[in-house]
Structure 1
Amino acid sequence: MIKAVALLARRPDLTHHQFVEYYENNHAKLIRSLLPQIVEYRRNYLDRGTAIGADGATDPDFDVVSEFVFADRAGYDAMLTTHARPEVAAAIEADEKNFLDRSRTRMYVVDVRES
C-alpha cells in the first residue's frame, strides 16, 4: 500500500458548505472516473471550530485533507502517468477551478505507520 495526501483550499468566494457539496457531488466522482488506480479515496474536512493548537499557532491554510490510497508504488506511478495525459490533466484542472484555490494545493506521498 502507498498513500498520498493532498492539502486543498477552497476558493475564497465559496462557503464551507458550498465547497464540500461541490467536492462530494462533482469532483470526487470525476477523480474516481479518471483515475481508477485509486483504491481508497477519503476527504477529511476541517472543523475549524474544534481546533486544538498551541498559543499563537497559525490557522491552517487548507480546508480538506484528501487521502489517496494505492495498492502499491506501481499503482501510484500508473496514476501519475494517467494524470499526465493532456486530456485528463485538462479535465481535472478545469473542474478544480470551480471550487479550489489551486495556488495553495499541495500533495505528498506519506509513510504510514500504525500501532
Structure 2
Amino acid sequence: MSENNQLRDVFAAIADPTRRRLIRLLAEVEELPLHELTSQFSIGRTAVSKHLTILKEVGLVLDRKVGRETRFRLNAHPLKEIQDWVAFYSKFWNMNMLRLNQLLEEEEK
C-alpha cells in the first residue's frame, strides 16, 4: 500500500458526492458491473473506476471478476466507524437540547 493510501480513511472516502452516490447505488443491489455503474454518471469510466479504487482502499467496496467484467458490491462494515462518530454527537446534541428545554421551562415559571 502506498503512503497516500495509508492516509485515506472512511471519512475521506465518503467526502466526495460521487463516491457517496456509488455507495448508495451499490447498497440498492447485490452487485453491479463497472459499465452499469458508469451509466449512472455524467463522468467517464476511468473517473468512476478511480472513485471505486478509493472506496476499495478503505474496504467499502469489494470486487470480483466474472469473465471479462469486474463486478462491485458494497461492504458497509467500514461505515460503522462513521455511525459511531455520529452517534456520539447525537448524544451531545440530545443532551444540549434537553438542557435548553430545561432552561426554557425554568424561565416560564
Confirm or deny a common fold (TM above 0.5): no
Greater strand content: 1
Point out the structure with max Rg over C-alpha. 2
Greater helix content: 2
Structure number with the bigger relative contact order (C-alpha 8 A, sep ≥ 6) is 1
